[in-house]
């Protein structure tokens, strides 16, 4: 393992050196640092051109300038943007944080829903749900990113902000929403006519009931989860997580998951007192680690022949319950946020990464960050979701037609175990190549999405610096993206080895 990583890192450094050399020469040849002066009518234009030439050291050959830049970069001096006057390190810091905020949520959501829908579509091959999934995924995959972003601005921000002035739904809207969700659930579950009808009725009633509850409780203007919703949702998710990870017949895993729900509910009110103290993301990270540790401990305390399965189910449930408690606290600031003069009753933002002159504590700032992330994250999710759905569907179809799947079924294994333990694990192998590369691509900046929503991310930094002929920020950007791409390939190889025992990284 160590020798493999060492070899790949050395090869990556060589690749990085060659690529930065080529990119420096290309960028030097493509930028136009005198464009504004060439169009100037000042009588001292030639003198200004000479001063800028000296400032940028353009009389020195590009090859020598590259090695000067490389020497400074290796020693930690990233340079200064000559036009903006800002250190490149400061410019990168803000851009990287903004991009990570956007990419992290979009990638996780797209992977979870894309893989889930793709696998269900593969298991229901040639059904109406399968054809519908294929149609929707191809439509989303072919849509231009800027067009999706503009539509979300119109209907997701402007339309929703107008809705908040009078947050009520007509009976027709409630019925249509219930019908759509009921049909989707019915098509996804399938089965006999009785099972389909039961699924449709339950989904329709749940959807209509949820919308009515939101409307009658004035939830849109004062949203919250509260202990009751957390208990009901956490219990349902505990059953779902246990069913997927071990099966409901594993009573110890189910008991461990339900125990973490009870612990989370018991800590709900004590945590409210903790949340009133000065808070930061370091505290959130610490509490997240404690949550995982408690879930693992509960799983092992329940014991059984396979404590690891119980610990896995309990820790996943604990993370979900803790996430709901955190979201509940953030949502409790919604009335205060809506009433702020800087918000003016229109909370869903269309541009930027934060609201100027908002003020407020950690929770208000967190809510403001979420409202600014909502639309660009949704735009990326819709486009990525289509790709992951197609990849996971085709991979699952290939795996489920293998001989070892037929053998597992012939041995009498439960269908859940055949799908989750034998099929799903091998379905992830092709995705192990796609996901790391996609993540790195997005970390390089979702350029179109950032431009439409005016987010100061890595893509915006690259475009602005390239237009401004600032080579230092452009090169810093390219080095980061290239280095992350090399690391992504190494991570993909390690994931291969973790998913498939036949693959050895030290071979």
**For 269-310, what is each residue's pLDDT tens digit?**
898 888 888 888 888 889 999 999 999 999 888 876 778 888
Three-state SS letters, 158-193: HHHHHHCCCCCCCHHHHHHHHHHHHHHHHHHHCCCH
258 vs 420 pLDDT, higher one: 258
Q: How far apart are CA 499 and CA 137, in angstroms?
A: 26
Query: Where does the pLDDT of residue 444 fall: very low under 50, low under 70, confident under 90, or very high at 90 and above?
Result: low
In contact, 414 and 474? CB cutoff 8 Å: no
Look up residue 316 and give its two tokens.
């996943």
Q: Which of 356, 434, 443, 439 is nearest to 392 (CA)?
A: 434
CA distances to 65, 292, 345, 356 from 340, in Å: 51, 36, 8, 12
Q: What is the pLDDT of residue 505?
A: 57
C-alpha torsion 117→122→126→127, nearest 10: -40
Four-CA torsion 284, 288, 293, 295, nearest 10 degrees: 130
Indicate the pLDDT class of residue 259, thresholds 50, 70 and 90: very high
- Which pLDDT band, with edges at 50, 70 and 90, does 116 fall under? confident
pLDDT at 11 over 80: yes
Q: What is the pLDDT of residues 177-224, one digit of tens each?
A: 999 999 988 888 877 888 889 999 999 999 999 889 888 888 888 888
pLDDT for the residue numbered 501: 67
Whole-number pLDDT of residue 465:
86
Residue 318 confidence (pLDDT): 93
Query: Cβ contacts of residue 81 below 8 Å, gap of 6+?
Result: 87, 88, 91, 465, 468, 470, 472, 473
| The token pair that represents 360 in the structure block | 């407020």
Give the residue with greater pLDDT, 190 vs 127.
Answer: 127
- Higher-confidence position of 50 and 303: 50
- Is this structure's pTM higher than 0.85? no
> Are 155 and 165 within 8 A, CB to CB?
no
Lowest pLDDT segment from 234-248, 434-448, 455-469: 434-448
Which pLDDT score, from 0 to 100, does residue 180 have? 93
Exposure of 155 in the CB half-sphere (CA atoms within 13 A): 7
Cβ contact 61:423 at 8 Å: no
More confident residue, 504 or 109: 109
Residue 447: pLDDT band with limits 50, 70, 90: confident
pLDDT category of residue 503 using cuts at 50, 70 and 90:
low
Rounded CA gap, 158 and 234, in Å? 33
pLDDT tens by residue, 394-404: 888 888 888 88
Q: Is the pLDDT of residue 150 over 90?
A: no
Least confident of 255-264, 363-372, 428-437: 428-437
pLDDT at 364 over 60: yes
CB distance 309 to 249 below 8 Å: no
Nearest to 214 by CA among 319, 331, 106: 331
Q: Which of 309, 351, 350, 358 is nearest to 333 (CA)?
A: 358
- pLDDT one-digit tens code per residue, 57-89: 888 888 998 998 888 888 888 888 887 788 888
pLDDT in tens, 311-357: 888 999 999 999 999 999 999 888 888 888 888 888 888 888 888 88
> What is the percentage of the chain residues whose pLDDT exceeds 90?
14
Residue 342 C-alpha from the chain's centroid: 28
The pLDDT value recorded for residue 266 is 92
**Rounded-to-integer distance, Cα 136 and Cα 484, Å:** 32
Question: What mean pLDDT, rounded, does the chain reach?
Answer: 85
Joined together, the tokens standing for residue 35 give 């464009």
Per-residue burial over 346-359, b if 16 or more Cβ lie within 10 Å, else e, is bbbbbeebebeeee
In angstroms, the CA 256 to CA 313 distance is 7
What is the H or E stretch that residue 286 is in? helix 281-302
Q: Which of 189, 79, 87, 73 is nearest to 129 (CA)?
A: 189
Average pLDDT over residues 22-38: 83
Do 49 and 94 form a contact (C-beta atoms < 8 A)? Answer: no
Rounded CA-CA distance 154/371 in Å is 15
């Amino acid at each position: 393992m160590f020798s493999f990583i060492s070899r790949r890192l050395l090869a990556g450094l060589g690749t990085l050196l060659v690529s930065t050399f080529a990119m420096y020469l290309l960028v030097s040849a493509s930028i136009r640092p005198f464009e504004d002066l060439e169009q100037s009518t000042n009588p001292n234009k030639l003198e200004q051109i000479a001063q800028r030439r000296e400032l940028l050291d353009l009389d020195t050959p590009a090859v020598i300038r590259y090695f000067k830049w490389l020497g400074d970069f290796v020693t930690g001096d990233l340079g200064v943007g000559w036009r903006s006057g800002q250190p490149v390190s400061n410019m990168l810091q803000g851009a990287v944080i903004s991009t990570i905020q956007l990419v992290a949520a979009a990638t996780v959501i797209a992977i979870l829903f894309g893989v889930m829908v793709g696998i269900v579509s593969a298991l229901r091959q040639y059904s109406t749900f399968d054809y519908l999934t294929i149609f929707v995924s191809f439509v989303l995959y072919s849509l231009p990113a800027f067009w999706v972003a503009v539509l979300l601005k119109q209907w997701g921000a402007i339309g929703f902000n107008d809705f908040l002035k009078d947050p009520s739904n007509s009976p027709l809207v409630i019925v249509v929403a219930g019908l759509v969700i009921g049909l989707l659930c019915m098509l996804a579950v399938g089965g006999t006519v009785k099972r389909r009808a039961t699924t449709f009725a339950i989904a329709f009633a749940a959807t209509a009931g949820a919308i009515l509850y939101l409307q009658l409780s004035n939830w849109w203007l004062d949203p919250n989860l509260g202990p009751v919703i957390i208990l009901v949702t956490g219990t349902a998710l505990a059953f779902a997580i246990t069913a997927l990870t071990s099966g409901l017949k594993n009573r110890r895993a189910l008991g461990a998951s339900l125990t973490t729900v009870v612990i989370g509910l018991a800590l709900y009110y004590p945590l409210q007192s903790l949340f009133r103290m000065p808070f930061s993301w370091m505290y959130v990270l610490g509490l997240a680690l404690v949550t995982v540790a408690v879930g693992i401990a509960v799983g092992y305390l329940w014991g059984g022949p396979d404590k690891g399965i119980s610990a896995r189910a309990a820790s996943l449930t604990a993370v979900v319950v803790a996430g709901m408690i955190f979201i509940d606290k953030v949502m409790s600031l919604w009335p205060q946020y809506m009433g702020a003069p800087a918000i003016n009753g229109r909370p869903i933002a269309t541009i930027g990464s934060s609201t100027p002159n908002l003020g407020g504590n950690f929770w208000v700032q967190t809510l403001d960050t979420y409202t600014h992330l909502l639309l660009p994250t949704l735009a990326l999710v819709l486009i990525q979701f289509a790709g992951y759905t197609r990849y996971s569907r085709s991979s699952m179809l290939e795996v489920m037609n293998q001989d070892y799947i037929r053998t597992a079924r012939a041995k009498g294994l439960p269908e859940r175990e055949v799908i989750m333990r034998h099929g799903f694990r091998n379905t992830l192998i092709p995705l192990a190549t796609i996901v790391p590369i996609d993540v790195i691509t997005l970390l390089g900046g979702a350029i179109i999405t950032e431009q439409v929503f005016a987010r100061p991310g890595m893509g915006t930094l690259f475009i602005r610096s390239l237009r401004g002929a600032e080579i230092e920020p452009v090169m810093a950007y390219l080095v980061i993206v290239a280095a992350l791409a090399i690391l992504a390939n190494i991570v993909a190889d390690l994931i291969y080895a973790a998913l498939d025992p036949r693959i050895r990284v030290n071979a």
